[in-house]
Amino acid sequence: MTTTKHRNPSMIARVVVALVGVGCLLLAVQGAVQATSQGVALMSDREHDLHALQRHVDVETLWRQFAEQVPTGSRVSLIPTRTNKDLWHQRLSEFAALHGCVVVQGAPQDYSVSVASVQRKRPTSAGVRLVVRKVG
- Tens-place pLDDT, residues 11-21: 888 888 899 88
- Tens-place pLDDT, residues 20-53: 888 888 877 777 777 787 777 766 665 567 788 8
Rounded Cα–Cα distance for residues 91 and 83 (Å): 13
User: Of 75, 19, 84, which is closest to residue 55 (Cα–Cα)?
Assistant: 84
Rounded Cα–Cα distance for residues 52 and 33 (Å): 22
When pLDDT is averaged across residues 64-83 and rounded to a whole number, the result is: 90
> What's the CATH fold of domain 50-134?
THUMP fold (3.30.2300)
Domain extents for the chain?
8-45, 50-134
Query: Poorest-confidence range of 3-7, 88-92, 123-127?
Result: 3-7
